[in-house]
Structure 1
């Protein structure tokens, strides 16, 4: 009787999959990221763009014309997401395929425009291939004068009464979430956050330079970019030099504020962050890479920089090296992420490509290294580019773990990333929407 049951079960297994399976990744070690564990000797069955099962390799045999990818000795994790990038129509031809090459199958664009929306929609309609999925912020919504002066292309809020109308118009255009910037006045900033939330839209932001620092982290929800505001809040400096105050952008404020920190205040900022459910996308690699002289020289001198000619001139003009203020700020950022992590704050991995020395795709792997350097385990760092983005995007985002019914976006590695986070760069194959790239 037991033998009959086993035969029936065996038949049902084949019958349920034999007509559907387009790709089978066999004999692999699966790191689902639902837990800190390795599922050994598994086969991942894919139909179209979806995972339909993860089974023991011994229980599946190819009884049809399924394409088989033998991954013996390999490690399969979910493909990665870069949660902070900017696109440039002159560079997209080169940068978007590079993201895929490095296993980044989703990018979150932090300053939207019509061209970004068109590209996103073309990908969704399968009219554009060789590009990761795109989720787009609104245009940058800034105050007057805007942070980038004449280069600013988004809406400018000149009166608190404007902010709700501006956000409504951005939602109507079809953007996925709202981006508020660093020169907004305090009332417009708060009103914008509240209105977007009521409309069911998430908000990413820089802490405005006009905001009274005692109020930096009493904001409910949203997401801070680049750890904006933490050093200003915790600084022992009573005032900043005039040449810094004349700048419109918040980053110079944050850099100089990091020179003398009251860590009791920093701990208070972190506690408030957690209490008010504020996310962070630190982009540690943004500052770190420009201090890595060996890496920067390698970009200029070998294949890492292939296809990036349009950027290398700009990057070179900015330069690289261990500038004192930058090194101080890097150390501060590392300590801040360590505190955020220790207090269970929500953290996302992002890079801020195409800023200098950030190679599309590769820089996200480097960001994971920086996360580990700040105190996250390899498993926790991996989650900042997989599970955590899935939580941030919500129920309509069908990625982030390796399991049934998830989109088949997978990164197949030659070595175990749970042992060494640098192993995410030892890529064997990338699977995107069920297709081997």
Structure 2
């Protein structure tokens, strides 16, 4: 039965995008064709002289209802939420990327973010940590995240409990000491190294996280290539995934926006429901001269680690950690991250493939597409110049997304109750 016959019988409805140039994952380029997408409504969109891509996926971010739509305006239709408040995330409406979530992250006591709160638990108690894994599973978390102060015995128990429930474990080990480095985490069953963290601890026996004074003797980024290769070979043999969030490291070092087109940032700043600039302004004084020097060194090391792992065919995904850190705007930072991957030597088509098709291995296949006014392979800035998006079987024009509002007062009231 052909598609038109099925339409007449009312069996299915489809959105057709005609006359556009569609990104073909096999050839990593664009080819003019018609896209047919299962839908809740029948609609034909003329995409003459437009470019169609699968939606981007930010593989490490922290979404909120207050700025969810700005991911869409940056061509992001999926996010991997790497910790946050369960109740807050579940207030997000449909004008938002699909969320592949975890919620409360598990840290040791004392917690790097203080005592247990809505977005994390700080504990050295194995039973409490295992119960948190069960709670997250019941909430629908897709994976578990652990943080840098977690104790070894607790980490082992968390991984074991997660495995029993069919969940993988991601670790942020930026602030971890040598007893919980990347190799140790990999050996006990951690799957993801967020921020490509824990690897520096394997490379420098002198490394003390956060010690901005003592690290200056390493400023020349003098990495032992044999140690680096041995470390990454071991990680690759265990199929460890890196999500390096290089734009976060760059912002820590330089604290400035790197993409020329700032129209999207202007929109975020003008949105009264978004208070990110206030947060960034409060954080900025902590970027002392010593911190900046240390952060420049750290950024240089992380680029070397990321490039070497990619060259070894290790799994590396693109993510941003927005809005954590300094001036790290949701959506917009994804464009910065893609530019850095391009600077590492990946072609624009390889970067686009890595940001669109590759994440489906983790989050699952989707039929969300972005229609762009210009070719993103000419400039990733064009990813912020959308014409429209097909999201979960519905078409949204750019103007519809831009004008979408939330009831911020109702959200705040819900939390007060």
Question: What TM-score do the two structures reach when normalised by structure 1?
Answer: 0.77
Q: Distance in 1 between matches of 2:61 and 2:216?
A: 21
Q: Distance in 2 between matches of 1:238 and 1:331?
A: 18
1:263 aligns with 2:230: no
Provide closer, same or farther for how the CA distance between residues 385 and 173 of structure 1 changes in structure 2, counting only shifts above 3 A.
same
Indicate the residue corresponding to 2:388 in structure 1. Answer: 429
Q: Is the 8 A contact 1:258 1:332 kept in 2?
A: no
1:383 to partner: Cα distance: 2.9
* Unaligned runs of at least 5 residues, structure 2: 398-417
1:385 aligns with 2:391: no
Indicate the residue corresponding to 2:270 in structure 1. Answer: 306
- Please show how residues 141-290 of structure 1 align to structure 2 within 5 Å: 141-150=106-115, 152-153=117-118, 154-207=120-173, 208-209=176-177, 211=179, 213=181, 215-220=184-189, 222-235=191-204, 237-238=205-206, 240=208, 244=211, 259-290=221-252
Provide closer, same or farther for how the CA distance between residues 419 and 410 of structure 1 changes in structure 2, counting only shifts above 3 A.
same
Provide closer, same or farther for how the CA distance between residues 347 and 239 of structure 1 changes in structure 2, counting only shifts above 3 A.
closer
Q: Is the 8 A contact 1:293 1:321 kept in 2?
A: no
Provide closer, same or farther for how the CA distance between residues 165 and 46 of structure 1 changes in structure 2, counting only shifts above 3 A.
closer
1:346 to partner: Cα distance: 1.1
Indicate the residue corresponding to 2:94 in structure 1. Answer: 129
Provide closer, same or farther for how the CA distance between residues 217 and 260 of structure 1 changes in structure 2, counting only shifts above 3 A.
farther
Which of the residues 78, 88, 92 maps onto 1:106? 78
Indicate the residue corresponding to 2:411 in structure 1. Answer: none
Provide closer, same or farther for how the CA distance between residues 301 and 97 of structure 1 changes in structure 2, counting only shifts above 3 A.
closer
1:46 aligns with 2:49: no
Indicate the residue corresponding to 2:310 in structure 1. Answer: 341
* Unaligned runs of at least 5 residues, structure 1: 1-10, 51-65, 246-251, 400-406
Q: Secondary structure at the match of 2:157?
A: helix
1:126-181 CA-partner distances (Å, limit 9, x unpaired):
xx332222222131111111111147443333234544333223223332211111
Q: Secondary structure at the match of 2:329?
A: coil
Q: Secondary structure at the match of 2:211?
A: helix
Q: Distance in 2 between matches of 1:254 and 1:75?
A: 47
Q: Secondary structure at the match of 1:384?
A: helix
Question: What TM-score do the two structures reach when normalised by structure 2?
Answer: 0.80
Q: Distance in 2 between matches of 1:135 and 1:300?
A: 24
Provide closer, same or farther for how the CA distance between residues 419 and 17 of structure 1 changes in structure 2, counting only shifts above 3 A.
farther
Q: Is the 8 A contact 2:259 2:335 kept in 1?
A: no
1:261 to partner: Cα distance: 2.6
Q: Distance in 2 between matches of 1:310 and 1:71?
A: 36
1:316 aligns with 2:275: no
1:99 to partner: Cα distance: 1.3
1:363 to partner: Cα distance: 1.2
Q: Secondary structure at the match of 2:60?
A: strand
Q: Secondary structure at the match of 2:105?
A: coil
Larger Rg: 1
Q: Distance in 2 between matches of 1:27 and 1:385?
A: 24
Which of the residues 309, 331, 345 maps onto 1:361? 331
1:302 to partner: Cα distance: 4.3
Indicate the residue corresponding to 1:249 in structure 2. Answer: none
1:101 to partner: Cα distance: 1.7
1:311 to partner: Cα distance: 1.5
1:207-234 CA-partner distances (Å, limit 9, x unpaired):
3435254635434451011111111211
1:260 to partner: Cα distance: 4.2
Q: What RMSD over aligned residues (CA atoms) do the two structures have, in Å? A: 3.4
1:29 to partner: Cα distance: 1.0
Indicate the residue corresponding to 1:61 in structure 2. Answer: none
**Number of residue pairs the alignment of both structures matches:** 382
